Amino acid sequence: MKIHRIDHVGITVNDLSAAKAFFLDLGLNVLGEADMEGELVERIIGLPGVRETVVMLGMPDGEATLELVKFHTPSDENGTQPSFINTLGIRHIAFAVEDIEAVVAKLKKKGTELISEIQNFENTYKLCCVRGPEGIILELAEKIK
């Protein structure tokens, strides 16, 4: 048995267009969009009566994929719950970026919440955390040369 790589990361959102716009602004590309429902989808994800819209986004280098999913049915009655970086479970996605200062400035201009200012980690990385739409936490990392 051999694991090759992470194929994609899935994020469930309520406002699909806002989440899509946020990641497109970061530089990701739309690879595809589809409305999905039916018995096969229900069996794959183990959720009866599912109807969803999926947007697949690719990184500019083609190495990873992000899947945004909006469930039309059934919906999550609890809605988006605020979480912190130490909340149990998958909590953030880290992006390797070039020119972290420019990325953060662009995000601030768009109203993105900064969780932390840019920090120098042992002269190896510049790091910063931001909160995107629906509470999605991103860590931005620029390798210091």
The whole-number pLDDT of residue 104 equals: 96
Could you tell me if 137 and 127 are in contact, meaning their C-beta atoms sit under 8 angstroms apart?
no
What does the alpha-carbon distance between residue 14 and residue 69 come to, in Å, rounded to a whole number? 8
Give the whole-number percent of the chain exceeding pLDDT 90. Answer: 70
* CATH 3.30.720.110 domain locations along the chain: 92-143
* CATH 3.10.180.10 domain locations along the chain: 8-73
Could you tell me if 133 and 24 are in contact, meaning their C-beta atoms sit under 8 angstroms apart?
no
Under CATH, what is the fold of the domain 92-143?
3.30.720
Architecture of domain 8-73: Roll (3.10)
**Would the pTM count as exceeding 0.75?**
yes
| Tens-digit pLDDT profile for residues 44-98 | 889 899 999 999 999 988 888 999 999 999 877 777 677 777 777 778 899 999 9
